[in-house]
């Protein structure tokens, strides 16, 4: 059954590709989808994501809406007007919303079926601490109004059930890998070492939960190691460490990611295990496995599923021990090529959308005839 869907994202389309981008693209192949996304005024560090096959419409919010209440209320009013125009034009069967922050932006009387795709614990973001109570109220109201709630992790599902109940509405739909994003990538090709230097790489958003202390300890302990960071910076609350061997490349297009990653000896996921991170199913780990490099990551329960592919550390001493082993024994994967291929095949966004389609097949189409 083909549905009319208005898909409302909480990140700019040109931000580092996340769950909303991939789901919107795949749903657009099967349904009549209109994507609304917030236009980021600061665009210097954004990538240019592909637009083929997706109907995109930016909505504009005045800056400082989170700081000044009257600007925030004006933004809500402006979006409700825009959303009303789209709903009257598109007559959606489904309104898909990716954050409780956007729930108050919707028109009050919504005839469409509402689906909440929860990819993060929004209440745990440090920037949201001053309005945690109002966001919690929005989230509970959103869950009550939704016919289905998709969660990107088990820990996230458990949190939402504890806050809002309605346990029958939830379905865990993990994040995944997008094969088409890395066409032609050659995997773990051998790279020539110049001067005995080794490169650890990180690909993803750099924000308040990023563990810079881990990076500093690595470069201080291992003079032959440098660290390359790829991705946009968001709400960074600490000073950037000034080390020649910690290099930042900014947000880059997927084609450029492939070139940069091919020169890495290993991939690193240095997170602080905060309340927010406990609920994260990182897309980067799926991509890291695809890249076919040794992987080091901080350990937390939600990602134990990756234990066959990742060398986990629980403290800095364990991280140093893993890296020291790499340097002595060589940067060898703990997984085989067959393991890698099986993992990639079974964890694509197409697989995830197939599961979502089982739910959408039960949703009636009650807009205008298609």
CA distances from 80 to 45, 149, 218, 259 (A): 29, 22, 49, 43
Consecutive H or E run containing 95:
strand 94-97
Between CA 149 and CA 33 the distance in angstroms is: 19
Residue 45: the pLDDT is: 66
Write the burial class of residue 314 (CB in 10 Å: 0-12 exposed, 13-18 middle, 19+ buried): exposed
Query: Count of residues for the chain?
Result: 370
Domains (range + CATH), the chain: 4-176+347-360 (3.40.50.2000), 180-346 (3.40.50.2000)
pTM recorded for the entire structure: 0.89
* Banded pLDDT at 368 (limits 50, 70, 90): very low
Res 184 pLDDT > 90: no
β-sheet bridge partners, residue 233: 206
Mean pLDDT computed over every residue of the chain = 89
Q: Which of 151, 180, 177, 182 is nearest to 348 (CA)?
A: 177
Distance separating alpha carbons of residues 256 and 250, to the nearest angstrom: 11
With contact defined as beta carbons under 8 Å apart, do 295 and 270 qualify? no
21 touches 43 (CB < 8 A): no
pLDDT at position 92 over 70: yes
Report the percentage of the chain scoring pLDDT > 70. 92
The pLDDT-based confidence of 76 (bands split at 50, 70, 90) is: confident
Chain segment 234-260, per-residue pLDDT in tens: 877 667 888 999 999 888 876 788 889
pLDDT in tens, 194-241: 557 899 999 998 998 999 999 999 999 999 999 999 988 887 766 788
pLDDT of residue 130: 85
* Helix/strand/coil for 67: coil
Q: Which two tokens stand for residue 335?
A: 């997984």
The yes-or-no verdict on residue 341 having pLDDT over 80 is yes
- For residue range 39-64, what is the model confidence (pLDDT) as tens digits? 887 776 676 788 888 999 998 888 77
277 pLDDT exceeds 80?
A: yes
Q: Is the pLDDT of residue 187 over 60?
A: no
Predicted pLDDT of residue 370: 37
Q: Is the pLDDT of residue 66 over 80?
A: no
Residue 367 pLDDT > 50: no
pLDDT at 275: 95
pLDDT number for residue 188: 54
pLDDT at 241: 82
- Counting Cβ atoms within 10 Å, is residue 93 exposed (0-12), middle (13-18) or buried (19+)? buried
Q: What does the pLDDT read at residue 186? A: 55
Highest mean pLDDT among 37-46, 120-129, 167-176: 167-176
Nearest-angstrom CA–CA distance, 91 and 89: 6
3-state helix, strand, coil in the chain (%, to 5): 40, 20, 40
pLDDT-derived band at 22 (thresholds 50, 70, 90) equals very high
**Does the pLDDT at position 319 exceed 60?**
yes
Least confidently predicted of 122-136, 282-296, 326-340: 122-136
pLDDT greater than 70 at residue 79: yes
């Amino acid at each position: 059954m083909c549905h009319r869907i208005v898909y409302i994202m909480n990140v700019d389309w040109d931000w580092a590709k996340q769950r909303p981008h991939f789901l919107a693209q795949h749903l657009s192949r099967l349904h009549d989808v209109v994507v609304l996304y917030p236009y980021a005024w600061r665009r210097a560090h954004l990538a240019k994501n592909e637009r083929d096959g997706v109907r995109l419409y930016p909505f504009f919010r005045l800056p400082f809406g989170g700081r000044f209440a009257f600007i925030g209320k004006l933004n809500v009013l402006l979006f409700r007007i825009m959303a009303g125009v789209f709903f009257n034009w598109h007559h959606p069967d489904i309104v898909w919303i990716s954050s409780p922050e956007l729930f108050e932006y919707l028109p009050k009387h919504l005839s469409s079926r509402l689906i909440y795709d929860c990819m993060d614990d929004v209440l745990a973001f440090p920037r949201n601490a001053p309005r945690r109570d109002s966001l919690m109220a929005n989230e509970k109201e959103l869950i009550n109004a939704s016919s289905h709630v998709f969660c990107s992790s088990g820990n996230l599902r458990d949190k939402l059930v504890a806050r809002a109940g309605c346990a029958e509405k939830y379905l865990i739909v993990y994040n995944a890998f997008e094969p088409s994003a890395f066409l032609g990538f050659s995997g773990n090709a051998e790279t020539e070492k110049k001067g005995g230097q080794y490169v650890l790489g990180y690909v993803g958003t750099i924000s308040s939960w990023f563990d810079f202390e881990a990076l500093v300890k690595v470069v201080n302990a291992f003079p032959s190691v440098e660290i390359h960071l790829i991705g946009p910076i968001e709400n960074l609350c600490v000073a950037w460490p000034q080390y020649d061997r910690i290099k930042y490349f900014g947000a880059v297009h997927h084609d450029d990611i492939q070139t940069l990653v091919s020169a890495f000896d290993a991939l690193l996921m240095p997170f602080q295990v905060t309340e927010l991170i406990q609920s994260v199913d990182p897309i980067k780990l799926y991509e890291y496995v695809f890249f076919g490099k040794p992987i080091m990551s901080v350990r937390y329960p939600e990602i134990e599923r990756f234990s066959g592919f990742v060398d986990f550390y629980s403290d800095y001493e364990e991280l140093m021990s893993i890296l020291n082993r790499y340097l002595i024994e060589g940067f060898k994967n703990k997984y085989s090529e067959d393991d890698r291929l099986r993992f990639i095949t079974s964890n694509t966004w197409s697989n995830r959308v197939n599961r979502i389609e089982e739910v959408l097949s039960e949703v009636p189409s009650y807009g205008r005839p298609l």
